[in-house]
Structure 1
């Protein structure tokens, strides 16, 4: 009996000694790796290096903590080979007072030698594969490139010949400038920017190794990087891997007096395939050459209040991990993507983070699809919430799986380098897998810029494809509610081949199309779409409230739209559009005719608020055409579906016999670097919608500018429509299209001028869009009397709740 009690007591003491939680201290400035494990459990006698930690990690027990001294920098990579438990995770954190400890992959370069005027070189201390990241005084710099980004079309050349899948030609590629061994960066469509190794340069032709299945495409551009001959601007650099040399252009600066660092560690944290229950708190990771955090399977890893800065590829790469959490943290300057959740993950939480400057250098991301996201996930049961995302080269937040919640995120600036993406983007495509229960709620999305350069849109005013919320091929079962979307180059909310989508209670302002629906051969037809209770605000003349692109839209199958509130700040009213992809016709509608066409919008309301003219102040004007029809109708003629009659009273009458009639006015040459202004005085006995654009006079009749719409009424009105920087052409025409009914239109005057706008103009906006992108209420001061879209008055101040917005019109 006594022996049994003794054995029980021994087991109890032994067990508790094994589960006792210990702290292990590390200091790069005062540590010593020769100390014992017992000594390292005291802050006064820490270990020193990550090598020692990696050696000791297998001996860690659940509940243990590894503490790095605040303000210290630890060079190297941390390799996790141990797990905690749900009750006792292993914790990596900091001790002491000061800045967070840094785990760094950076090497400071020294021993610089002059190679040529303004160009210096040094050897990298250890053999390193291709360096992906260099900082100059702490600022990441782009690889050297030809042509420079400051040159025409932001430094993209457009091939004059594409020779199969792996050859392009351009006259600027001279025989004397050999680019063999350099890297070709080529845009193959709006969303793909591939990096290809150049294997030969003969005459004006480059031969390269394709890095993805996408092929070069006519009208899309390229540049050359990662070669010694590209170095001609401050900070441009090149890594000669074979010689292990780093070259940099410093112009007249002394390299010994500035800090130049390169990434020499691929990863800063890696895990085994079944790592579980680990917590990182208050650690700063910097200077990974590839993925700073690389997680390859397991359960319940939690990162809180960490900072990941300057990653050569992705800041965080995760696969096959359940319950991954990344919270209250910061990611800066990831060259490819911020948080990248690949396949096999489940129930990730990405919340309360700040992610900025993701994939902002053209040619510094990775090739192929799904690159350039601030946050990207293909997993189920994710929560992506309360994040601030600024300056994304491609997409702000992209997701796929079921039971996903994307809510209360603030996204400002996206599609800066690539296009055909969105602030929030979801895609199914191909497999047509039925993801269920997805919600996009309460997000604030601003400034979708788009990137024309290097695409078929460069040198034009066509809107680049940057969309606010973009639900792409076969995306289904998504609620889009209570979001604020503004300042979008193309479509505010874009539903492309989607079904079972509900769009409600959103505020969309200042987009080429506030809402746009499309079906084509790339996915299933539009079906079961509900659009209701949205506030859609048209800012400028060319903006369309709602558009649909389809071969023959069946509106009853598509779904319905109703109980929305349309606001036009120009005093004309809402404009709608149908693009028939079979006939190529574009039909425009006012509200009443849209209701007849679709049977939608019976209970929708409109507010028409005449705002000051959005045109810039004009410093100089030169008239190209001025037709006042005082004596005849010469100078303009019908292109199709109409007839012209000159009236003695000094106007021409346009009679129509079809849905769309077209007039043409020949202009001669137009220049890309000029601004043009159309002045039109006209009336219509019933409301009619007109569209104008520039077009080539002869075959192939390509559009030279984006279409701009205007509305004609019974009252005579002067319409001034600006066409900024159209595509250049030696012989252009102005096209005027008129949609709807067969009523008569009278045109009193058409004037077309080239103008020089005043560079600085006074902001005459009489409206405010206020948004609170924070988790706490915020007070805004008002300098005038305003009313909101419901007619409620506001003065002096207004308080907005978390992620709440309000649109105010000055009284």
Structure 2
């Protein structure tokens, strides 16, 4: 039989054996060092005996817990293949050691030997690579486009063709909108250029044009072609082409779709028609499609344009002198992680990949942290499905991505629980035609697996969409996206797409998109780039199961939140500022959609806060309410409606008309004030992780609820506020003495004039007429007490006096709210003897004995009144959220003292009170008379004891007071004080006779 000690011993032995068998290598993890000056024959286990090459690292079997450390400041050429796996909690780590810049793993090769071929064309003397397609060339540290025609900045365009032509014989209106299958809203004799023949269905819209005006097909109908479709899926006709050229074997870079640039081999040119290879049957939907021709040595005619010959593997460059500082990519992948788990890569720079910098497939628990990934021919980090096997728990954090031609991060939807956080992504997909053909790339982050979290990333200057997601339980939060869709359109700052076929849609759940800031105010508008091709947040076809809230969006040439055929959506508390359409509801396939508590402000007459199309199918399937909806130019165009049945119409409703006709937004409102210019609006946002303050200068601002904005304004991380400049409001008013009096006073004493308001307002500034001079002036607003100025309510900064005579207006540092019937005093004091204007009259001024040195104190101080009035007034705006006087008294809810006591000081065991705002003071008295709110006996803290001056039966009254000075009713309690009887014994030790005084007894 085993004793307890033996059992314990065997348990620990078993535990140790299990530890070494289950997790081999954990106790003997090794750190290997790699330096460009090392030697692969070394053991690599110290900084004095490092390895040298990526090949050595790639071929070494590693154990869980092992580390590979690359020397900082060193450069390592080639590709790293991850050969071994770590275990959960103890990964294999690839990092850095030493000091200086991150170690660099590069796929670039310098080209230094050149042959002059004439006409400024230089060809590399030798083959520069073994790859077939050169995706990136860096010249003088710049990602450089290959040669193209037309040259950089220009585009060719398809011809407008008279294909699928229908003559129109009926004139209906000037809207230029199709209304039925046979009646068109254009003039007799005009022709409609339809994009293609076929059927169109309600809820779908084929964009076409009439005399360069865009319009929509609105009904089910069939079109029979009567013209010849010259632009098809594999040929285009363009008058830009030189009919004497033949671009056979060159490459066509073309946007057959808005969202994708295709790179297609040209197989023939006949006159002005190009024929190309297109494996996808694409119907060309527009006549303003842009394209370029590239990947041909004949395009080289500008400095540093290049061409790579895939047969000879040589590169040619156009240069006035022999090319220098030329780097070409010669490595496809810099890191390849396939079927390996628990790997960490950190503190390394990756540059010069021709395809993917880091490729991950069929691998779990991969972490990429604090890396710099730049200058890549395709994607920075690519998550591949690999034999359609998924991966789990990929983390990409604290890294930078820049100058990647097809995307920064691309993670397949078979990757689950991916985290992308705290990354900075800039200048992605910036070169037209340099993308991977056949992919809708050029995005910042594409992470489409369920359980994905994308947070705290900054993305700027992107060729297409910022963040692309898919699936369930996705969190996209606290990201900043700025300037996207710079190359392709029909994308979003945040974008998702479920399916093109409604019947095969997936039901999603648990998705949250919140506290993102999306700004797109610098999109380059080239001819052929669709005007409204970008969306702030884009819920494409069949999106569902999303809560979208607290996001901020501003894009003057696009849509704020754009939806097509979506359901089970809660969109609330978002701010959309300055967008063509703030919120767009599209398609009849919409259900269970809530749109509430949003702020949608349009800035001009070409913008609308809401758009519903088709209105008749959507309006009963959404709930829109408690929003703030407005546009500066006209409140009549708040809602833009596209009504398709029973007949076409396009009314533009004011908010009240929208409420009356459709019963939506019944609790919504416009802005609290009207503005004279869109310049009166400003969007302030904080795209950092810390609270941030903004100084608003001397202007007075309100928010969209009509509240005065405190200066400086402080915003919490990833929040925003639309503010309204008082200078552009229509409700600026004056109160006081606006007349210019004739008498002049040069006294230096502080003076004040009373004014009484007859409406609720907000005092913004003070104006005094002065005769000009030097020195400063200081002004303030004071409360009224018994006909005299008392407590300071507001003050201006000390301001230099105008050198010439006239009205001088100075803004208060913080505006002062007043209510109807309230009297306040406007006060001023000059540093020097500046003359001010006055005359005899009432109400008279108050004058203090203090002058400039006394300033504008918190209490005006003693003053005297005289029947003299000065040229001075207050400037104020109407208060849409006036102060509501607090007349509700606090309530004392509990007060407990002992019923008897044998001491004059008794404890108070409980004293509680409540108020509609807050209780500020407490008092206990021995009388039932209500104490004055101005009494000095009030205390901020609840009393815990009370002291009487005599014994007996006593009654105490408990009172409470609030900030408005309201005093509660009291609760009273009795206590009987019985002091104990004290008996003294007096002993006199004295012999003899006589008189004296005995002391010491009570």
> Does TM-score exceed 0.5, indicating one fold?
yes
The reply to whether residue 227 of structure 1 matches residue 231 of structure 2 is no
- Counterparts of 1:470-619 in structure 2, within 5 Å, are 470-519=538-587, 525-550=589-614, 552-556=616-620, 558-570=621-633, 572=635, 575-581=638-644, 583-607=647-671, 609-613=673-677
Which has more radius of gyration? 2
Matched with 2:269 is 201
Q: Is the Cα–Cα contact under 8 Å of residues 515 and 719 in structure 2 kept in the other structure?
A: yes
Matched with 1:31 is 38
Q: Among residues 116, 133, 138, which one is paired with 2:136 in the alignment?
A: 133
The reply to whether residue 780 of structure 1 matches residue 694 of structure 2 is yes
Deviations 1:486-516 (A, max 9, x none): 1242211112111111111011100011111
Matched with 2:333 is 267
> How big is the alpha-carbon RMSD for the aligned residues of Structure 1 and Structure 2?
2.6
Q: Is the Cα–Cα contact under 8 Å of residues 609 and 630 in structure 2 kept in the other structure?
A: no
CA distance in 2, matches of 1:14, 1:491: 60
Matched with 2:369 is 304
Larger % of strand: which?
1
- Counterparts of 1:183-194 in structure 2, within 5 Å, are 183-194=251-262
Aligned pairs, number = 637
The reply to whether residue 352 of structure 1 matches residue 422 of structure 2 is yes
CA distance in 1, matches of 2:471, 2:584: 24
**3-state SS of paired residue (1:292):** strand
Higher alpha-carbon deviation: 341-350 or 204-213: 204-213
- Counterparts of 1:79-158 in structure 2, within 5 Å, are 79-122=81-124, 123-151=126-154, 154-156=155-157, 158=159
CA distance in 2, matches of 1:335, 1:486: 26
Q: Is the Cα–Cα contact under 8 Å of residues 128 and 328 in structure 2 kept in the other structure?
A: no
CA distance in 2, matches of 1:412, 1:194: 25
Higher alpha-carbon deviation: 165-174 or 80-89: 165-174
Q: Is the Cα–Cα contact under 8 Å of residues 211 and 367 in structure 1 kept in the other structure?
A: no
CA distance in 2, matches of 1:265, 1:534: 50
Normalised to the residue count of structure 1, the TM-score between the two structures is 0.75
The reply to whether residue 46 of structure 1 matches residue 50 of structure 2 is yes
**3-state SS of paired residue (1:108):** strand
Structure 1: which 5+ residue stretches go unaligned? 458-462, 615-764
The reply to whether residue 411 of structure 1 matches residue 481 of structure 2 is yes
Q: Is the Cα–Cα contact under 8 Å of residues 187 and 455 in structure 1 kept in the other structure?
A: no
CA distance change for structure 1 residues 112 and 542 in 2, over 3 Å: closer, same or farther? same
CA distance in 1, matches of 2:15, 2:609: 78
Deviations 1:642-701 (A, max 9, x none): xxxxxxxxxxxxxxxxxxxxxxxxxxxxxxxxxxxxxxxxxxxxxxxxxxxxxxxxxxxx
Higher alpha-carbon deviation: 118-127 or 376-385: 118-127
Matched with 2:981 is none
- Displacement of 1:567 after TM fit? 3.7
The reply to whether residue 283 of structure 1 matches residue 348 of structure 2 is yes
- Displacement of 1:612 after TM fit? 5.0
CA distance in 2, matches of 1:10, 1:790: 67
CA distance change for structure 1 residues 579 and 9 in 2, over 3 Å: closer, same or farther? closer
Q: Is the Cα–Cα contact under 8 Å of residues 442 and 804 in structure 1 kept in the other structure?
A: yes
- Displacement of 1:12 after TM fit? 10
Q: Is the Cα–Cα contact under 8 Å of residues 345 and 367 in structure 2 kept in the other structure?
A: yes
Q: Among residues 440, 447, 451, which one is paired with 1:370 in the alignment?
A: 440
CA distance in 1, matches of 2:24, 2:552: 56
The reply to whether residue 248 of structure 1 matches residue 285 of structure 2 is no
- Displacement of 1:330 after TM fit? 0.7
CA distance in 1, matches of 2:438, 2:643: 31
CA distance in 2, matches of 1:393, 1:140: 14
Q: Is the Cα–Cα contact under 8 Å of residues 483 and 523 in structure 2 kept in the other structure?
A: no
Matched with 1:798 is 713
Matched with 2:183 is none
CA distance change for structure 1 residues 31 and 798 in 2, over 3 Å: closer, same or farther? same
Matched with 2:505 is 432
CA distance in 1, matches of 2:14, 2:576: 70
- Displacement of 1:221 after TM fit? 2.7
Q: Is the Cα–Cα contact under 8 Å of residues 212 and 367 in structure 1 kept in the other structure?
A: no
CA distance in 1, matches of 2:105, 2:417: 28
CA distance in 1, matches of 2:30, 2:50: 13
**3-state SS of paired residue (2:571):** strand
**3-state SS of paired residue (2:670):** strand
Deviations 1:176-230 (A, max 9, x none): 4221111101111211221101122233332211143434444123211111111
The reply to whether residue 21 of structure 1 matches residue 86 of structure 2 is no
The reply to whether residue 337 of structure 1 matches residue 407 of structure 2 is yes
CA distance in 2, matches of 1:9, 1:188: 65
Normalised to the residue count of structure 2, the TM-score between the two structures is 0.61
Matched with 1:619 is none
Matched with 2:59 is 55
Q: Is the Cα–Cα contact under 8 Å of residues 571 and 611 in structure 1 kept in the other structure?
A: no
CA distance in 2, matches of 1:17, 1:399: 39
- Displacement of 1:450 after TM fit? 6.0
**3-state SS of paired residue (1:414):** coil
CA distance in 2, matches of 1:354, 1:156: 35
Q: Is the Cα–Cα contact under 8 Å of residues 157 and 238 in structure 2 kept in the other structure?
A: no
Higher alpha-carbon deviation: 403-412 or 177-186: 177-186
CA distance in 2, matches of 1:440, 1:12: 45
Higher alpha-carbon deviation: 66-75 or 800-809: 800-809
**3-state SS of paired residue (1:302):** strand
Q: Is the Cα–Cα contact under 8 Å of residues 147 and 156 in structure 1 kept in the other structure?
A: no
CA distance in 2, matches of 1:364, 1:9: 58
- Displacement of 1:373 after TM fit? 1.5
Higher alpha-carbon deviation: 785-794 or 604-613: 604-613
**3-state SS of paired residue (1:586):** coil
CA distance in 2, matches of 1:199, 1:159: 23
CA distance change for structure 1 residues 211 and 71 in 2, over 3 Å: closer, same or farther? farther
- Displacement of 1:50 after TM fit? 0.6
**3-state SS of paired residue (1:299):** coil
CA distance change for structure 1 residues 554 and 78 in 2, over 3 Å: closer, same or farther? closer
**3-state SS of paired residue (1:162):** coil
Q: Is the Cα–Cα contact under 8 Å of residues 323 and 348 in structure 1 kept in the other structure?
A: yes
CA distance change for structure 1 residues 223 and 435 in 2, over 3 Å: closer, same or farther? same
Q: Is the Cα–Cα contact under 8 Å of residues 64 and 90 in structure 2 kept in the other structure?
A: yes
Q: Is the Cα–Cα contact under 8 Å of residues 185 and 224 in structure 1 kept in the other structure?
A: yes
Matched with 1:694 is none
Matched with 1:445 is 518
CA distance in 1, matches of 2:279, 2:292: 16
CA distance in 2, matches of 1:803, 1:261: 40
Matched with 1:676 is none
Matched with 1:394 is 464
